[in-house]
Chains A and B, each alone.
Chain A
Amino acid sequence: MPILCCVLLSGCWDRIEINDLAIVLATGIDYEDGKVQLTSQIFIPRKASAGDSSGSGGSPSGVTMIRTADGHTIAEALNRLQRKVPRNMFWGHCEVIIISEQAGKRGIREYIDFFLRYPQFREHAYVFSSERAAKDILALLDPLERSSAESLREMANMKLGTRMTALELGKSIEGPGSSVILSRMLILPPEPEQDKLTTTPYVKGLSIYKKDRYVKTVKEPLSVGVLLLAKELNNIIMPVEIKPLKGSFSIQPIEIQTVLKPRIVNQRWSMKVDIQTRGEVVLNTTEGDLTDPAVITKLEQEWSAKLTTLAHDALEMAQKELRTDLFKFAVEFRRYYPHQWKKQEKNWETLYPELDVEVKVGAHVVRTGKSTGPQGIPDEDEN
């Protein structure tokens, strides 16, 4: 019996030594000349020798490398990619997927099917969009983290843009809204003396996809409104002005809660968006004193007004310009009015732009930082 076990174990079909694995950390999808280009960022294991990569980001540390292959379909590209790599490609650690806008214009349905079908891919991989080619971002050698894939993942964890996993991407596109919002990544210009690859990708703006095709890039301040309504706004400091004071207050929201309440009254479909937020003042360039409750009340009013404007602008763009349900209104209608939804489901494309949306904002300033009155005013006399 032990001999039999030994015989069986030695012929284990699925054993692959770790030395024979090429661990892919991130994937990029581009589209060029009618072919899908798949780029993989592969981890290079290095022995931790003495004096490991000294000098703050001097020469590239060479922790990752990229390999690209193209093909008519993404599966064909995957196959061709393996031929360029001497080890078995292992996609199980692929934490980040970047889709370039060029590839997005053609439609990402094929890629979604691939990511949700091929057994090795993780459904929790974060999906980003990139303005230029995805492989440029993957080629970066991030000085702070071990790889640009890791820095992208950390940024997604911190919710700097939208946090969209492959599974959620599938759900968004297949759901009644048929749209998705992805964070758009650009490349930070490198320091002049350093190698041009030693830099970091950063989030700037959003890419909007309608029915699995890329349609629009949205930048600030419109992107703030879009994120606000999509319940993904996490990292923003917004300036609010109070007339007649000169200057502005900058408020950092601590918590933003957006609740969508659908309503159907007498065949009229409407949606009420209720935004509740609490914020902290981080900068005061006016002469107003924040210990004065009147100032705080006025500030809250102006802040609510600003948020309302942002929300309305975003809605305007989604409803009138793009005619796309970006904020999953359809899902809410389906949840609370299933019978009416079933009847009107086919007409959602025409219903959505005519939807009455009412935005109500409740903003509260809860903290004013370490200081009370305005600081740093020259020649301020205390008498």
Chain B
Amino acid sequence: MYGGVQHQGTNRIRTIHTQAIKGEGLHMLTDKGKISETQLAFMIFPAILATAILSVPGITMHYAGHDMWLSPIIGSIIGFAAVAISIGLDRLYPGKTLIQSSVSIAGRISGKLIGLVYIIFLPHLTGLIIRTYGEFIVNNALPRTPLFVVMGTMVAVCALNVRLGIEVVGRTSQIFVTLLIVLLSLIFILLIGELNPAELFPFMENGPLPSIKGALAPAAWFSEYIVIAFLLPYVNRRKRTTRVMLGSLLITTTAMTVINLFCLFLIGDLTDSFVYPVMIAARYITIADFLQHIESLIIAVWIFGIFVKISVFLYIFATSTAEWFGLKDYKPVVVPLSFLCMVYAYWVVSGGSGASSLIGPSANLYTISILLILPAMIYGLAWLKKGWAHFRKNQANT
């Protein structure tokens, strides 16, 4: 009798489950894993910050001068928009990633075209990230090691991480990001003795325009929050998603602002004359003649952050490609795609001068347009569609 009731129960659950899957259409997620919201927040934090730490202080100082600490705050508006769009899209089309929902929204052909744009953009972005990482390591830590070894080993490990599924990516990010946050705070606490807060002035020397101009670069980084749109279907649904994401946005903004402030207080006007100002800040720590030369520790910790970032982007790329082609499982595609990203890492910069154009204003606009404006258009379209359908339903009812 008991067994009968149980059997009946599970049967009912099973039918509901299949109905639910069928209800979402023919598209299924290519990965069966699930992560929690905090894991998603942990994944996003380094996905934005890991390379922002390197380049953002220099660029914002260049444009905004002593107001550089305002630029991340202004740029976070873009981040907020990205989060809002992702969550909005998820509400309209639950359980679908951006690639899948764009097909539902814009129709088969244009939806596929939008997906193609992402499939071409993502390896470019991932290649850029890998290249930035490689250049940083070779410049600061391992000058004689060939770039290929540095980048290749990282990509190999990330490919392994991605292949094992979203759960693995989520869990590794939880561990590593905790370490990252603790040790990053450590640098800043140790530096407090050397800071000069008077560098905040002159405030708004040239008006508010420079900090807005400087905000373009952090905005490009914040628009990477759109990766949530690719990852929300994997999250164990609970009511707290919006709050957790907004909390993550707040933390990222605070982190970027604090980093900018520290660079400003320590190095002052010279911040944009250094390639990696945060590295200079880390090297400056010397306490009681024994806590010195900790920059290797900083580099090691920061590599954790970059590992999470590359894994996240590689994962999105692999699953998006698999979904676009209609494959059932994304795992076979991972290794060839990671190789493609490596190749992009070489294509990205065509010479020494290319390195600075990587983070110039045109690159930032390019990133923002694909990572924010395109999803915004998709979301706008989706909204219109739902509104139109609602309107027609109302008309039919009356």
Interchain CA distance A13-B141 in the complex, whole Å? 11
- Report how many residues on chain A are interfacial, defined by Cβ distance under 8 Å: 25
Residues in B with CB closer than 8 Å to A93 are 293
In the assembled complex, the CB of A328 is this many whole angstroms from the nearest CB of chain B, namely 10
What number of A-B contacts does a CB cutoff of 8 Å give?
58
| Chain B CB within 8 A of A354 CB | no
In the assembled complex, the CB of A334 is this many whole angstroms from the nearest CB of chain B, namely 6
Interface of chain A residues 277 through 336 with chain B (CB within 8 A) = 334-336
Interchain CA distance A159-B153 in the complex, whole Å? 47
Question: Are B144's CB and A13's CB within 8 A?
Answer: yes
Complex interface bits, A155-184 against B, C-beta within 8 A gives 1, otherwise 0 = 001000000010100110011000000000
Question: Are B269's CB and A175's CB within 8 A?
Answer: yes
Extra contacts, 6 of them, besides A14-B141, A167-B280 (Cβ < 8 A), are A12-B145, A119-B140, A123-B280, A171-B267, A174-B269, A338-B204
Question: Are B202's CB and A338's CB within 8 A?
Answer: yes
With A92-B293, A171-B268, A335-B201 as known contacts, state yes or no: A13 contacts B283, CB within 8 Å.
no
Residues in B with CB closer than 8 Å to A342 are 205
**B202 partner, pick from A92, A124, A171, A335, beta carbons under 8 A:** A335
Complex interface bits, B103-143 against A, C-beta within 8 A gives 1, otherwise 0 = 00000000000000000000000000000000000011111
Interchain CA distance A342-B205 in the complex, whole Å? 9
Count class of interface residues, chain B: 20 to 34
Question: Are A123's CB and B149's CB within 8 A?
Answer: no
Residues in A with CB closer than 8 Å to B143 are 14, 119
Task: Show 23 A/B contacts (Cβ-Cβ < 8 Å), sorted by A.
Answer: A8-B153, A12-B145, A13-B142, A13-B144, A13-B146, A92-B293, A116-B270, A116-B274, A119-B140, A119-B143, A122-B283, A124-B283, A124-B284, A153-B289, A157-B289, A167-B267, A167-B270, A170-B270, A171-B268, A174-B270, A175-B268, A336-B201, A338-B204
Residues in B with CB closer than 8 Å to A14 are 141-145
Interchain CA distance A170-B268 in the complex, whole Å? 11
Q: Which B residues are closer than 8 A to A by beta carbons? A: 139-146, 149, 153, 198, 201-205, 267-270, 273-274, 280, 283-284, 286, 289, 293
Interchain CA distance A12-B146 in the complex, whole Å? 10
**Those 7 A-B pairs whose CB atoms lie nearest each other, nearest first:** A338-B202, A335-B201, A13-B144, A13-B145, A338-B205, A14-B142, A14-B144
The residue in chain A whose Cβ has the minimal distance to the Cβ of B274 is: A116
Residues in A with CB closer than 8 Å to B203 are 338
Question: Are A123's CB and B269's CB within 8 A?
Answer: no
Residues in B with CB closer than 8 Å to A119 are 139-140, 143
Residues in A with CB closer than 8 Å to B274 are 116
Question: Are B202's CB and A334's CB within 8 A?
Answer: yes
Residues in A with CB closer than 8 Å to B201 are 335-336, 338
Residues in A with CB closer than 8 Å to B153 are 8
In the assembled complex, the CB of A110 is this many whole angstroms from the nearest CB of chain B, namely 16
Question: Are B202's CB and A167's CB within 8 A?
Answer: no
In the assembled complex, the CB of B292 is this many whole angstroms from the nearest CB of chain A, namely 8
Complex interface bits, A130-168 against B, C-beta within 8 A gives 1, otherwise 0 = 000000000000000000000001000100000001010
Residues in B with CB closer than 8 Å to A153 are 289
Question: Are A124's CB and B286's CB within 8 A?
Answer: yes
Residues in A with CB closer than 8 Å to B139 are 119
Complex interface bits, A100-134 against B, C-beta within 8 A gives 1, otherwise 0 = 00000000000000001001001110000000000
In the assembled complex, the CB of A244 is this many whole angstroms from the nearest CB of chain B, namely 45
Interchain CA distance A93-B283 in the complex, whole Å? 11
In the assembled complex, the CB of A212 is this many whole angstroms from the nearest CB of chain B, namely 15
Residues in B with CB closer than 8 Å to A116 are 270, 273-274
The residue in chain B whose Cβ has the minimal distance to the Cβ of A11 is: B149
In the assembled complex, the CB of B265 is this many whole angstroms from the nearest CB of chain A, namely 12
Question: Are B284's CB and A123's CB within 8 A?
Answer: yes
Interchain CA distance A167-B280 in the complex, whole Å? 9
Interchain CA distance A13-B146 in the complex, whole Å? 8
Interchain CA distance A93-B292 in the complex, whole Å? 10
Residues in B with CB closer than 8 Å to A335 are 198, 201-202
Interchain CA distance A92-B203 in the complex, whole Å? 36
Residues in A with CB closer than 8 Å to B145 are 12-14
In the assembled complex, the CB of B235 is this many whole angstroms from the nearest CB of chain A, namely 32
In the assembled complex, the CB of A119 is this many whole angstroms from the nearest CB of chain B, namely 7
Residues in A with CB closer than 8 Å to B280 are 123, 167
The residue in chain A whose Cβ has the minimal distance to the Cβ of B285 is: A124
With A14-B142, A119-B139, A336-B201 as known contacts, state yes or no: A171 contacts B289, CB within 8 Å.
no
Interchain CA distance A174-B141 in the complex, whole Å? 28
Interchain CA distance A167-B282 in the complex, whole Å? 13
Interchain CA distance A124-B194 in the complex, whole Å? 11
The residue in chain A whose Cβ has the minimal distance to the Cβ of B143 is: A14
Interchain CA distance A381-B130 in the complex, whole Å? 87
The residue in chain A whose Cβ has the minimal distance to the Cβ of B204 is: A338
The residue in chain A whose Cβ has the minimal distance to the Cβ of B268 is: A171
Question: Are A171's CB and B269's CB within 8 A?
Answer: yes
